[in-house]
């Protein structure tokens, strides 16, 4: 596990080759075909070095959610183990890891009428207003949900207004879909860097992704079926399309993406703190691969 741009791919490839692993992606956006540059998807060459799973599963126009991921994860894990290989789970989506380890949080059934009212308010009043309400009703959820994250903001408010109980409280209860709590062996490594170094990496990678054709990729996806409601949540694509449409310069786009990525990295760090048995490792250390290898594989 680790924040975006921390160096998960390079280290995971080295570990997988040393220890006979195949990689199971723990990333909610790598499932989309054609969204390669903007999601920093492992390259074809990297996937030829080590087999990767849970990548390129659906078109960007399709909806993909946590329940689907768990079903696909369990199938991929069984397939890897049947070949006598070790599944190495790599990514930065903390919610997916919690679900893999502890099962799927169901929560209350949706209240579609209440949701529609909240969606309407979001459109008319803006996310900051709704986020302020959530901060009063459910501070832990407000801390990890950005005011512009319409889907998650509306859902969190829907739950607390519908049930009188905060989403953060509901999320402590996980059902048996997926792993039964405590049933999976759990050796979790969290790759961490100093914030200043991570910010430098984020800026460097953002420039490199734009140089590599991120704008052309985003326009191609939009032209060939478009972004569905879940794919459009991928970091940076909205900003890149604004640049494509002439609404922002290259420099403005870089700044906006870098800022959004730093905020996203903070939320990822918050998720990492949930896993108390996680071993923290600096991927820049010369012996990082040895340290992680001993911890994971003995």
CA distances from 297 to 20, 21, 178, 187, 276 (A): 11, 11, 24, 9, 19
Q: What are phi and psi of 268, to 5 degrees?
A: -65, -40
The Cα-based distances of 54 to 41, 51, 102, 172, 270 in angstroms read 11, 10, 19, 26, 24
pLDDT tens digit sequence for 55-94 = 999 999 998 888 899 999 999 999 999 999 999 999 999 9
CA angle 17, 20, 21 (to 5 degrees): 85
Out of 3.50.50.60, 1.10.3720.10, 3.40.50.300, 1.10.20.140, select the CATH number for domain 112-170. 1.10.20.140
**Do the domains 112-170 and 8-103+183-297 match in fold?**
no
- Can you give the residue ranges of every domain in the chain? 8-103+183-297, 112-170
| C-alpha–C-alpha distance, residues 278 and 256, integer Å | 31
185 band by pLDDT with thresholds 50, 70 and 90: low
Average pLDDT over residues 221-237: 93
- Any idea what DSSP says for residue 277? T
Model confidence pTM above 0.85:
no
The domain over range 8-103+183-297 is classified in CATH as 3.40.50.300: yes
Residues 273, 277: Cα–Cα separation, whole Å: 9
CA distance 238 to 202: 17
Per the CB < 8 A criterion, the answer to whether 281 and 190 are in contact is: yes
């Amino acid at each position: 596990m680790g924040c975006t741009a921390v160096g998960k791919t390079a280290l995971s490839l080295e570990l997988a080759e040393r220890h006979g692993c195949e990689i199971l992606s723990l990333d909610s956006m790598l499932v989309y075909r054609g969204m390669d540059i903007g999601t920093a998807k492992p390259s074809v060459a990297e996937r030829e070095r080590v087999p990767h799973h849970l990548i390129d599963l659906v078109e960007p126009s399709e909806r993909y959610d946590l329940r689907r991921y768990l079903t696909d994860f369990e199938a991929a894990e069984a397939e890897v183990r049947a070949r006598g290989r070790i599944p190495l789970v790599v990514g930065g989506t903390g919610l997916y890891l919690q679900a893999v380890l502890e099962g799927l949080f169901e929560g209350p059934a949706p209240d579609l009428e209440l949701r529609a009212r909240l969606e309407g308010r979001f459109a008319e009043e803006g996310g900051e207003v709704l986020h302020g309400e959530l901060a009063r009703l459910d501070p832990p959820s407000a801390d990890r949900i950005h005011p512009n994250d319409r889907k998650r903001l509306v859902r969190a408010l829907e739950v607390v207004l519908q049930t009188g109980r905060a989403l953060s409280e509901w999320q402590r209860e996980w059902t048996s879909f997926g792993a039964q709590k405590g049933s999976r062996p759990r050796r979790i490594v969290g790759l961490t860097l100093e914030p200043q170094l991570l910010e430098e990496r984020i800026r460097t990678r953002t420039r490199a992704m734009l140089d590599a054709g991120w704008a052309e990729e985003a326009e191609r996806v939009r032209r060939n079926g478009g972004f569905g409601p879940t794919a459009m949540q991928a970091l940076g694509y909205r900003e890149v399309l604004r640049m494509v449409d002439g609404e922002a310069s290259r420099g403005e786009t870089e700044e906006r993406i870098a800022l959004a990525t730093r905020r996203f990295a903070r939320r990822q760090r918050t998720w990492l703190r949930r896993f108390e048995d996680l071993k923290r490792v600096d991927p820049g250390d010369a012996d990082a691969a040895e340290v992680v290898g001993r911890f994971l594989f003995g």
